[in-house]
Amino acid sequence: MLSVNGLTKAFGSGSNKLQVLKGVDMNIKQGEMVALMGPSGSGKSTLLNIIGGLLAGDEGSITLGKRTYGLKGPSSVVDVRRELVGWIFQDFHLLDNLTAVDNVAMALELSGMSSAEAVQAAETALDKVGLGDRMHFIPDQLSGGQQQRVAIARAIAGNRPVLLADEPTGNLDIASGKEVMALFKELCHDAEHPISILMVTHDPDLASNADRMLLLNDGRTEASDIRSAWGLDDEEDAVSASDDDAEPVVEATGGGEEE
């Protein structure tokens, strides 16, 4: 479903040049959830931004379905953002004055879908995330977990095959975070439209819910497990580390050095 080959990215020039990605190779299968972990500043959000068509890489390629890209600017990969990739952020980015269904439908209308089709697709997506009875509520009338579900519905509406999640539970309580992870699993295992998910997280407990984990370190990815990623001996220490090493939120603007 998604293949990244030899992807590199540097910021700055001359003596100030910082090589963030040094040849990333990774593959994600259809219906697979992969957790991406690594130290702060290792390039996790930069990698997501390039995969999501918000930033151009320097070398290498990305293949998503039949589409190959990776080195062109955001204006040249609008189709990737509209049709292939959905985004989930730590912040929900919902419009306060719009209902849940309108928040989801508006994104579809901006991609060229008619209003009637957009509303129908939005209602279907909200049903899928368990908000069929809340679709006419505005964000202030929803809990944090429900708002994130609206954001997930917005990301999957239109049957986008890949979901990029950047610290998706960072602003949620533990119970809501578990609900979101359970929903991610349901989306991956959906019989009709299985979604592939690449999730950046600092929480080893969340990473353990994924099918597998990749560690991004020194500009490259490698398969890893939770303990080796953190250099820890037991689960209790792993949970403590996730609280102590929280990573700043990076807005996916497609410019500047990560973090």
Which one, of 142, 55, 158, lies nearest residue 108 by Cα? 158
Its pTM stands at 0.81
Residue 203: its pLDDT value, please? 85
Residue corresponding to tokens 């998910």:
197
Residue 104: its pLDDT value, please? 96
Q: 95 in helix, strand or coil?
A: coil
Over residues 129-170, the pLDDT tens digits come to: 999 999 999 999 999 999 999 999 999 998 889 999 999 988
Neighbours of 58 (CB within 10 A): 15
Q: Is residue 253 classed exposed, middle or buried when 0-12, 13-18 and 19+ CB atoms within 10 A define those classes?
A: exposed
Q: 4 in helix, strand or coil?
A: strand
pLDDT at 259 over 50: no
- DSSP-derived secondary structure letter, 81: I
All domains of the chain in start order, with CATH: 2-93+143-244 (3.40.50.300)
